[in-house]
Each structure stands twice: as structure tokens, then as C-alpha cells.
Amino acid sequence: MAGEARKAPFGNLPDGRAVEEVTLSNGGLTARILTWGALLRTLEVPDRSGKPADVVLGYPDLAGYLKAPNYFGVSVGRYANRIRAGRFRLDGKDYTLARNDGPNALHGGREGFDKRLWTLAEVKDGATPSVTLTYISPDGEEGYPGTLTASVTYALDAAGTLSVEYRATTDKPTIVNLTNHSFFNLAGEGSGRTILDHVLTIPAERYTPVDATLIPTGAIAPVAGTPFDFRTAIPIGARIRDGRDEQILRGRGYDHNFVVTNAPTTDAHLVARVEDPASGRVMEVASNQPGVQFYAGNFLDATAVGKSGLSYRQSDALALEPQVFPDTPNQPAFGTARLDPGATYRNLITYRFSAGAK
């Protein structure tokens, strides 16, 4: 049975521009994507009994995303995660970015890609329904060099996999790090349950410790013997309050980059697996990127009221963001986030869903 893709109006921005929503349905899953922020607004996934629930945080209307965005489901760029002091050097020239996270730059700036209206480029029905959105970021926007032409394609296959593929090209050397910032709760965003009982696996032997402002120190440290060892599946809540670990205190829990590979790979590899024992839902996240930022919703403060009318609190959801490492432009040992004219940046993320037996 073929999947379905359909679009509908979702609202208007204060300046009158229209925001559209595209609904993709296939394999028992339903995803809804907005042109605002190229964001994933809902993702309905069946549990072990076949009962669907929306497993991502978000709002019922556009007003919520404009008032208190919280990065719910958005596409972040030009540079996801943090850049120390909002500064980097490229080809001998210094660039200054907005400091929108204490002393640092976060997720592309005050008006990053998450706060832009993307263009609806293509909506496709068929065996794998999809939607492609594009955004052209002009030279100098938020302080970044080069005109960046970015696209994201959301696709839903019959096997229960949602793929999110980012691509970008530039007309002059720049840096780029695009990812999706969906907040997941496999029990359902309206369940009232936290993610502390979710069982997490991250196949990483190392991670990047952070300083007091959550910028990597430059070290690449082993996870062995620390609360950051998720090589064997363990409930998220088992060590999230280990006050003996300075890194847990700095992140108020988990808000750290895990080193899965040393550099981007050609094909996607597993970066995380999450299971909710109560519902049976399982999510496997794969990407071609070397790192995955695991964030346990530590800063959710009950001020955002979601689609089900519940206020979202600390540990109500988790984010798993495949990307290059935070602050890579200032950390030569981390590799590179550089993109040159003639090259194409690509981040392929897949979320594969299944449900355990009763």
C-alpha cells in the first residue's frame, strides 16, 4: 500500500506570510512537518498493541512556536550546538556571531534556521512519501560567510523509518553543521511520564567533556567508569543525578557530545538506540555524522504547554542530535566543519521505529 503526502495551511506569521504543514503517512506512522523552521511537529508511532501516540514535543498551533520555540523539532543551522565566545577564524579572517547562550553562540544565532520560513520545494506521494524544503541563507546572515543553499527532505517508508536528510552548498568557504532537534518521549508527549525509564544505548567509547559554559574543553575522554557509558543499554535515570561527577553537574544531567566515529562516514551508522519498556516502542537513530549530542531535557522548566495540554518539565523528553562536534571550528583536534564551493554538505539521519512483543 502506497504512502500518502498532503499539505494544508497551518497559520500566518505576524508579517502575513503563510506557513504550511505537510502530513506524511506510511507503515503505521504519521509525521507532520512545518515550513516554519523546517520542523517536525508530530510523529505518531504505534506501541506493542498497535495503539499510536505522538512521540515528539511540540505545540498545537503556530503561536506556540513563535512565543516559546524551545527548538522543538526544528532544523538547526548554520551551526548546530555551541561555538565558544561566538567567534571562529576561517582562512585567516575572524568572524563574530551573536552570543545567545551565555558567553557562547548556540544553534546558528538569534535567528537561526529554526526561526526562518523555509520554501516548500516538493511534496511526493508513493511508496516513500516525502517533503523537501529549502532555505537560502545570504552571505553574512548571523555573521556567517557565504551564501548557503540548504535543503532538508523528510521521508517515511513502509518499514517504519523516518529519514531526515540535510544538504547544503556554498559560494565561498564557510562552516556548516545542520541537524534535527526533535525532543522524543517514546511513551507519548502527552503521557505525563518522563524519559528516565527509557533504556538508552550509545555505541561510543569516548565523549567530549565540557567547561562550565558547556563548551568542550578539548579533551576526548573515555566513557568507561563514568555516567556517560551507554555502550551497554541502561535506563537514562540510573546515573543522571550522580552528583559525584562534575560533568553531570555542569550539564544538569546529560547535555554532551558522544564520539561515535572520528569523522563523517559515507553511509549512516547507528548512533543511538532508545527503548521504552512500558509501551514497547523502540527507536534506532543512525547518521553519517561522527558525533551525537545527547540532551535529556534538563532545562525544560514547565513553562511550555504542549499539544496535549501538559506543561513540559525537566526530563520529559530527550534529544539525540547527530552532528560534527560542538565548537569544531575552534578545536582542530575535532576535525573540520568547513564547506567549500563545489562541495556538498550532507547529514543523513534515520529514525527507525519498532515495538517489542507483548
Residues 151-188 as b/e (b if ≥16 CB within 10 A, e otherwise) read bbbbbbbeebbbbbbbbbbbeeebbbbbbbbbbbbbbb
- List pLDDT tens digits, range 180-232: 999 999 999 999 999 999 999 999 999 999 999 999 999 999 999 999 999 99
Residue 161 has pLDDT above 60, yes or no: yes
DSSP label at 187? T
Using CA atoms, how far apart are residues 103 and 93, in angstroms rounded to an integer? 21
Using CA atoms, how far apart are residues 342 and 352, in angstroms rounded to an integer? 32
Pairing of strands 234-235, 174-175: unpaired
Quote the Cα angle for 19-21-27, to 5°: 165
Q: Say what the pLDDT of residue 357 is.
A: 64
**Long-range pairs for 331-335: beta carbons < 8 A, 24 or more residues apart:** 331/216, 331/218, 333/218, 333/220, 334/208, 334/216, 335/262, 335/263, 335/290
Q: Say what the pLDDT of residue 2 is.
A: 78
Task: Quote the percentage of the chain above a pLDDT of 90.
Answer: 98
Average pLDDT over residues 321-336: 97
Q: Say what the pLDDT of residue 279 is.
A: 97
- The pTM of this model reads 0.97
With CA atoms as reference, report the closest residue to 329 among 146, 175, 212: 175
> Do residues 73 and 36 make contact, with C-beta atoms less than 8 angstroms apart?
no
- List pLDDT tens digits, range 49-76: 999 999 999 999 999 999 999 999 999 9
Q: Listing from the earlier edge strand, what are the strands of the sheet with 255-259? A: 221-222, 206-208, 255-259, 291-295, 319-323
The per-residue pLDDT of the chain, averaged, comes to 97
H helices within the chain, ranges in order? 62-67, 246-251
pLDDT band at 29 (very low <50, low <70, confident <90, very high): very high
Average pLDDT over residues 130-140: 98
Q: What are the beta bridge partners of residue 119?
A: 134
Q: Which of 20, 142, 275, 321 is catalytic?
A: 321
> Do residues 295 and 315 make contact, with C-beta atoms less than 8 angstroms apart?
no
Q: Say what the pLDDT of residue 1 is.
A: 60
284 is catalytic: no
Q: Which of 107, 181, 198, 256 is catalytic?
A: 181
Q: In 3-state terms, what secondary structure has residue 358?
A: coil
Average pLDDT over residues 131-156: 98
Q: Give φ, ψ of 111 to 5 degrees.
A: -130, 70
Grid cell in block for residue 251? 550539564
Residue 81 has pLDDT above 90, yes or no: yes
Task: Quote the percentage of the chain above a pLDDT of 70.
Answer: 99
Average pLDDT over residues 242-268: 96
> Do residues 23 and 31 make contact, with C-beta atoms less than 8 angstroms apart?
yes
246 is catalytic: no
DSSP label at 223? -
Average pLDDT over residues 277-283: 97
Q: Say what the pLDDT of residue 356 is.
A: 76
Using CA atoms, how far apart are residues 73 and 37, in angstroms rounded to an integer? 8
Q: Say what the pLDDT of residue 75 is.
A: 98
Q: Say what the pLDDT of residue 358 is.
A: 57
